[in-house]
Amino acid sequence: MNRRVVITGMGVVSPLGSTVDDLWQGLRSGASGVRRITYFDTKDLTSQIASEVTGFEPTEYIEKKELRRMDLAQQYAIVASEQAVSMAGLKETEVDPDRAGVVIGSGIGGIATFEKQHALLMNSGPNRVSPFFIPMMIADMCAGLISIRLGYRGPNYATVSACSSSGHAITDAMRIIQRGEADVMITGGSEAAITPTSLAGFCQAKALSTRNDDPEHASRPFDMDRDGFVIGEGAGIVILEEYESAKARGVEIFGEMLGAGMSGDAHHITAPHPEGIGARRAMEVAVKDAGIELTDINYVNTHGTSTGLGDIAETKAIKQVFGDHAAKLPCNSTKSMVGHLLGAAGAVELISSLLEIKYGMLHPTTNLVNPDPECDLDYVSEGTRDYTIEYGLSNSFGFGGHNISIVFGPPK
């Protein structure tokens, strides 16, 4: 478990653009990816806004005939993984296929495919259902397809833990390398759940913002006027590699995975524990696993969803964990600009944190103009801030009480 694990590649499909550079330019400028939904008619829905991916062109990486056999979540995962593999220089490197694997998380999987094929079944009968329906729908196929494309025969599976899915995937991939079972892992998450059924379900649960006439300001973590999260979509993929392997290849190292902590709220199917007990435990375990002191952490990328209960619970948890040090911790929310990418959120937020390390600045938490008195930390609401991350922590918390915190830092 003493093998060091570093990040050597990143790939992104996001509401702010479909490259890592696009994501960073959007984040540093405080741009919003939230807009009125264009995919389907929303007139009967209480929430009519989302963070859609626009201008997505997968044909650079995937042949057209293959696209028809893939759910959109799978397309996002493949495109992001191709970017990450290219950045890491893996295609120019002789990789032992038995020592390279793939773990990709997805909270919902191919729900768009499920809806379309169910409609065909109901309207036209079973003979019209696609023979590719099952592999297009199941959540594990993002990992499966990437493994097949690259020929990687190491550990290969999916993690499904709602909004913590990609955080759990990345943590599992780190552990696999630490244990010596692989030297390279492609990991992260993908989600494409902006569909009529998804929206209807989240609307009925009263989880989504209904700021339909002002979409750019709808995602407002820690703000008194927040009224729910904004659903998003996309993929975030990172290449994790054993340190000595990366060093020998001479590739750029963007950061190091230092530790992780997992916990369960054991409280409610959708609501977080009001005192943040599970979130607190995940952060405490992550810092201990990293082998550092609590006061060494000098940045937190929050889960920060813009929900009434969630933002308060996370704030309480951070204060419980870090005590007086919490007041000195910048704690921003990537979701203020990209919305909530569900199972892909943790991966995209880790990538945003690695970019903050690379460029020496923190992106803002946008739309925080009327702070909630119960959310009283430093959320970087004033705009970008020049800053050096020494040890950072990224949180993801999912429906069902699934909590994951990851500690990372710059390459040393």
Within a domain: 69: yes
The domain in which residue 195 lies consists of: 5-249
Q: How many residues does the chain have?
A: 412
C-beta neighbour count of 178 within 10 angstroms: 17
Active-site hit among 203, 273, 331, 340:
340
Domain-terminating residue out of 222, 249, 276: 249
Query: Are the C-beta atoms of 77 and 367 separated by less than 8 Å?
Result: no
Asked if 18 and 38 sit in the same domain, the reply is yes
Q: What is the DSSP letter of 55?
A: S
Within a domain: 272: yes
Asked if 73 and 216 sit in the same domain, the reply is yes
Asked if 264 and 377 sit in the same domain, the reply is yes
Asked if 58 and 166 sit in the same domain, the reply is yes
Query: How many helices and strands in the chain, by DSSP H and E?
Result: 13, 14
Query: Are the C-beta atoms of 108 and 264 separated by less than 8 Å?
Result: no
Active-site hit among 163, 203, 331, 375:
163
How many whole angstroms from its chain centre is CA 198?
18
Within a domain: 50: yes
Domain-terminating residue out of 199, 214, 249: 249
Active-site hit among 168, 273, 303, 363:
303
- Is residue 163 annotated as part of the catalytic site, yes or no? yes
Give the ranges where 252-372 is alpha helix by DSSP (H): 277-290, 308-322, 335-338, 345-359
**Tens place of pLDDT per residue across the chain (412 aa):** 689 999 999 999 999 999 999 999 999 999 999 999 999 999 999 999 999 999 999 999 999 999 999 999 999 999 999 999 999 999 888 999 999 999 999 999 999 999 999 999 999 999 999 999 999 999 999 999 999 999 999 999 999 999 999 999 999 999 999 999 999 999 999 999 999 999 999 999 999 999 999 999 999 999 999 999 999 999 999 999 999 999 999 999 999 999 999 999 999 999 999 999 999 999 999 999 999 999 999 999 999 999 999 999 999 999 999 999 999 999 999 999 999 999 999 999 999 999 999 999 999 999 999 999 999 999 999 999 999 999 999 999 999 999 999 999 999 8
Sign of CA dihedral 148, 151, 155, 160: negative
Asked if 222 and 265 sit in the same domain, the reply is no
Amino acid at 250: G
CA distance 321 to 365: 22
Domain-terminating residue out of 249, 276, 307: 249
SS3 127: helix
Q: What is the pLDDT of residue 1?
A: 62
Over its C-alpha atoms, the chain yields an Rg (Å, rounded) of 20
- Is residue 340 annotated as part of the catalytic site, yes or no? yes
Within a domain: 254: no
Within a domain: 285: yes
- Is residue 375 annotated as part of the catalytic site, yes or no? no
Within a domain: 65: yes
Dig out the tokens for 190 from the structure: 């993908």
Within a domain: 387: yes
Phi first, then psi, for residue 361 (nearest 5°) are -155, 155
Most distant CA pair in the chain: distance in Å?
64
Q: What is the pLDDT of residue 412?
A: 86
Dig out the tokens for 69 from the structure: 């056999």
Asked if 76 and 106 sit in the same domain, the reply is yes
Within a domain: 146: yes
Asked if 243 and 345 sit in the same domain, the reply is no
Query: Are the C-beta atoms of 162 and 268 separated by less than 8 Å?
Result: no
Phi first, then psi, for residue 105 (nearest 5°) are -95, 150
Asked if 239 and 304 sit in the same domain, the reply is no
Asked if 119 and 229 sit in the same domain, the reply is yes
Asked if 237 and 303 sit in the same domain, the reply is no
Query: Are the C-beta atoms of 254 and 358 separated by less than 8 Å?
Result: yes
Classify each residue of 243-264 as buried b or exposed e, where b means 16 or more C-beta atoms within 10 Å of its C-beta: bebbeeeebebbbbbbbbbbbe
Asked if 266 and 402 sit in the same domain, the reply is yes
Instruction: Please tell me the total count of domains within the chain.
Output: 2
Question: Cα 140–306–367 angle (5° rounding)?
Answer: 125
What CATH number does the domain containing 22 carry? Answer: 3.40.47.10
Asked if 242 and 316 sit in the same domain, the reply is no
